[in-house]
């Protein structure tokens, strides 16, 4: 599309049960603020998008606006921030902090939490948003778009958890996450001139914004290590058997 970067359909991904995810159900993307009229038509008419999950903070939405899709009258936009709204961070793409979780390396020494702890923080601070996002994907009658600013971190976590929940192989989840790196240069260049993100972008080396396989691998491992798996964690947040059946039917059935 002309007005969005880091966009892809999450169909065709293999599961551990020798199935594949359906096309036209879950689409991930970077920011949608610059969609053209043709982009909106492509998403809503050709692809049948009915739900948009906007993971940006209230500060971002207030500064940038809801975007052209919200004005189309064809979709429902759900603002589900993954950041703690009680202390919004001004002008940053994400919160630069980490939870105290460490995975032991092969030599037995703990690996620093880094970005994995950063991803865990989303789930610890906003489990309500994570579960709400998965429910929207599960119960939508059409396609759902999940996006944030870059389409890498917040979007990557929600999409990875949705895929993990329905049994997509971890190799496929990590491989999809890594695809965001192919477009990071263009994404960063676009955000560099945006007043909402410029200070954060310019303060960080480009290399620090690239995905690494360990970031996503360790996140999924952390759910096993801390919570006994994603299914158990979700159930503790109110996720039901009906939700699970609906998500599996939406993405796999």
Average pLDDT value for the chain = 89
Kindly indicate the confidence band of residue 86, based on its pLDDT and cuts at 50, 70 and 90. Answer: low
pLDDT computed for residue 118 by the predictor: 83
DSSP codes of every residue in the chain: --S--S-EE--SPBBTTS-BPPTTSEEEES--TT--HHHHHIIIIIS-EEEEEE-S-HHHHHHH-S-HHHHSSS-EEEE---S-TTSPPTT-SS-----S---B-TTSPBPP-HHHHHHHHHHHH-HHHHHHHHHHHHH-SSEEEEE-SSSSSHHHHHHHHHHHHTTB-HHHHHHHHHHGGGGHHHHHHHHHT-TTTHHHHHHS-GGGGS--HHHHHHHHHHHHHHHSSHHHHHHHTT--HHHHHHHHHHHT-
Percent of the chain with pLDDT over 70: 89
pLDDT at 106 over 60: no
| Mean pLDDT on 82-88 | 70
Band of the pLDDT at 88, cuts 50, 70, 90?
very low
pTM: predicted TM-score of the whole model, two decimal places: 0.90
């Amino acid at each position: 599309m002309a007005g969005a970067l880091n966009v892809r359909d999450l169909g065709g991904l293999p599961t551990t049960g020798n199935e594949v995810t359906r096309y036209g159900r879950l689409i991930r993307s970077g920011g949608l603020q610059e969609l053209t009229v043709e982009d909106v038509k492509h998403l809503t008419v050709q692809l049948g998008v009915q739900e948009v999950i906007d993971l940006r903070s209230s500060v971002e939405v207030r500064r940038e606006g809801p975007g052209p899709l919200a004005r189309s009258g064809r979709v429902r936009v759900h603002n589900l921030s993954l950041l703690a709204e009680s202390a919004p961070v001004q002008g940053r793409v994400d919160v630069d902090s980490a939870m105290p979780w460490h995975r032991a390396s092969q030599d037995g020494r703990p690996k620093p939490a880094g970005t994995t702890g950063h991803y865990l923080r989303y789930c610890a601070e906003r489990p309500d948003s994570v579960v709400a996002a998965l429910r929207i994907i599960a119960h939508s009658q059409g396609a759902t778009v999940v996006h944030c600013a870059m389409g890498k971190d917040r979007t990557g976590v929600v999409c990875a958890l949705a895929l993990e929940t329905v049994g997509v192989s971890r190799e496929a989840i990590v491989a999809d996450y890594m695809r965001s790196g192919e477009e990071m240069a263009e994404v960063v260049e676009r955000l560099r001139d945006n007043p909402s993100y410029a200070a954060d972008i310019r303060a960080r080396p480009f290399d620090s914004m690239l995905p690494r396989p360990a970031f996503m691998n360790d996140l999924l491992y952390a759910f096993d290590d801390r919570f006994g798996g994603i299914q158990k964690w979700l159930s503790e947040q109110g996720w039901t058997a009906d939700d699970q059946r609906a998500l599996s039917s939406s993405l796999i059935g």
